[in-house]
Structure 1
Amino acid sequence: MLTTALMAYLTAFFCYFVQWTFGQPMIDQPLGVGLVAGIVFGDVTMGIIIGAALQAIFIGSVNVGGATSADTVAGTVLAVCFVVVSGMEQGVAIPLAVAAAIFANIIYSLVLNVLMSFWAPVVDWAANSGESKKVIVCHFGGAIVMNALFAIPVFLAVWVGAEPASQLMDMVPQAVINGFNAASGLLPAVGMALLLRMLWDNKIAIYFLLGFVLFEYINMPMIAIAAVGAVILVVTCLRDLENLDLRNQIKKLRETGVSAGAQSAAELEEEDFFA
């Protein structure tokens, strides 16, 4: 189990390190972490499936500054590890991963907001030295230290908890497992509800209705619905750009005060109205 714990640790460290060191390419999201964990543990398909399920749950979860909601890296790595290595059912692993992500966020916040503040004098020393090499060493050294600390809960959870968790699941009745499976199916709806709560606007509500109709009654696949959404987005952006250009022309004509321009402005306003 120590080898598995080290693999989980390195997976989490890699995702943390790439996310925080190379411009935040969003590899810390469950889809990205699931892919990496699937490659490491030898089941890419399962890694992506679990990552997609957790992505739907945490899609409305946003970390802003020091305010963090859940450590999605830890939760996703643990879920993939327990399913692929320990043979845990996916419906059971996902709710456990959500709980683990929320708990691991305590350690995440402690490292990010408290422990790494002690690195600030080192950064100041490197900057005051005026030597770029010291700044580079300080930057990457701090990244290694911070992300190594981030990944410790994942290592401990697998090393200490994987085998007891597997034995415990063998003792759980099938009815309870079915309940976990049902709960895991409802959690993505909770994630989407959190996202809609932030994005909901009466002006765009019609697009949500369109997506529901396409999926529920026309049975279009999600990729096709996403393509339709992309087309609507491009058309809307082009229309808005045209309207913005018309408004700029009207503004210029009004500023010049030319009588001939007044007529052109009226025509432009009419075009803008019917656009």
Structure 2
Amino acid sequence: MIMAWWQILLLTCLAFWMIIDQITVGILCNYPLLIGFVAGIIMNDVKTGLVVGATLQLMVLGVGTYGGASMPDFMTGAIVGTAYAVMTGKGGDFAIGLAVPVGLLMVQLDVLARFLNVFLLHRVDHFIKLNDTKQAARNVVYGVFPWGLSRAIPVFIMLIVGEKFIRQVLAVTPQWLTTGLKVSGGILPIVGIAILLRYLPTKRFITFLIVGFIAAAYLKIPMLGVALLGFAMAIFYYQKTIKSSEDHESNSTVNNANGKEYENDKGEYEN
């Protein structure tokens, strides 16, 4: 498939918007799944976009960035991975193998964007001291461009090279490398799940985890069915917790009442 100019333009605009959206209005937020979905619509292959986006989403579950910390930008990886998967026809696993290094590259460009915004931040401080609120607000808006361009420019360059260049690269790429990319693309979601389980109270809910594993691995229940089973278990656990809390409060009330009666009887006896 050869990409049309408008597809390259829309994907570049999506790359520019997504990082701004993440730190402002939060429509698409930090969800590779949604970015992959939109990229799939643009590439006229929603299924591939969802596969790539969902796989990358598994890798960032439970991962967040705080303060000035940077994390791999798998949203950009979802755009590039979806586009390359559709152009080459090599499937989602190959696209994931390409999307991961793209996401890691974005860490360096994210640091560069933050560095450039320091200059604008000092200008904001300067205009605040001068009580020039219009210039201060204007420089805050200017800070959008380093952020957006740090994603849009790399995506544009990666897409503008076109399908012919990609096929030439693939033609000289060793088979072991492409196979390795596919294998890593299949393994990485498991790593994401493992990281998530590491920080969840897994030991406390090990029973539910085993039930879900049996349902998916042995009973071959579709993912929607497993999700509904998990939802039912969550409701059951919630209701059980509420009932246990109410019983505890009821017992505490009874114990307090009995304690007061005992103290009153004891006081009357002593008198």
Normalised TM-score (structure 2): 0.79
- Tell me the alpha carbon deviations over residues 99-140 of structure 1, each in whole angstroms, 9 at most, x when there is no partner: 11011111113313x222223245444698596x77775655
* 2:100 corresponds to which of 98, 101, 104: 98
1:47 corresponding residue in structure 2:
49
Distance in 1 (CA, whole Å) between partners of 2:101 and 2:237 is 40
Residues 245 and 7 (structure 1), Cα distance of their counterparts in 2 relative to 1, 3 Å cut = same
TM-fit CA distance, 1:16 = 1.8
* 1:18 corresponds to which of 18, 21, 36: 21
TM-fit CA distance, 1:176 = 4.7
Gapped regions of structure 2 (runs ≥ 5): 265-271
138-147 vs 87-96, greater mean Cα deviation: 138-147
2:269 corresponding residue in structure 1:
none
1:167 corresponding residue in structure 2:
168
TM-fit CA distance, 1:252 = 6.0
Residues 141 and 234 (structure 1), Cα distance of their counterparts in 2 relative to 1, 3 Å cut = farther
1:195 corresponding residue in structure 2:
196
Distance in 2 (CA, whole Å) between partners of 1:135 and 1:227 is 50
Residues 248 and 168 (structure 1), Cα distance of their counterparts in 2 relative to 1, 3 Å cut = same
Distance in 2 (CA, whole Å) between partners of 1:29 and 1:13 is 15
Distance in 2 (CA, whole Å) between partners of 1:193 and 1:171 is 35
Residues 245 and 136 (structure 1), Cα distance of their counterparts in 2 relative to 1, 3 Å cut = farther
Question: Does structure 1 retain, via aligned residues, the 8 Å contact 2:120–2:142?
Answer: no
Gapped regions of structure 1 (runs ≥ 5): 263-275
Question: Does structure 1 retain, via aligned residues, the 8 Å contact 2:35–2:78?
Answer: yes
The answer to whether residue 30 in structure 2 is matched with residue 28 in structure 1 is yes
Residues 28 and 123 (structure 1), Cα distance of their counterparts in 2 relative to 1, 3 Å cut = same
SS at match of 2:69: coil
Identity of aligned residues (%): 27
Residues 147 and 242 (structure 1), Cα distance of their counterparts in 2 relative to 1, 3 Å cut = farther
Distance in 2 (CA, whole Å) between partners of 1:216 and 1:183 is 21
Residues 59 and 242 (structure 1), Cα distance of their counterparts in 2 relative to 1, 3 Å cut = same
1:47-126 alignment to 2 at 5 Å? 47-112=49-114, 114-124=115-125, 125=127
1:272 corresponding residue in structure 2:
none
Distance in 1 (CA, whole Å) between partners of 2:205 and 2:65 is 25
- Tell me the alpha carbon deviations over residues 183-213 of structure 1, each in whole angstroms, 9 at most, x when there is no partner: 3222221221121122253211121111111
Letter in 2 for 1:190: V
1:213 corresponding residue in structure 2:
214
Distance in 2 (CA, whole Å) between partners of 1:116 and 1:255 is 60
Normalised TM-score (structure 1): 0.78
SS at match of 2:120: helix
Distance in 1 (CA, whole Å) between partners of 2:174 and 2:119 is 48
Question: Does structure 2 retain, via aligned residues, the 8 Å contact 1:70–1:101?
Answer: yes
Letter in 2 for 1:12: A
Letter in 1 for 2:168: Q
Question: Does structure 1 retain, via aligned residues, the 8 Å contact 2:28–2:35?
Answer: no
Residues 182 and 207 (structure 1), Cα distance of their counterparts in 2 relative to 1, 3 Å cut = same
Question: Does structure 2 retain, via aligned residues, the 8 Å contact 1:254–1:261?
Answer: no
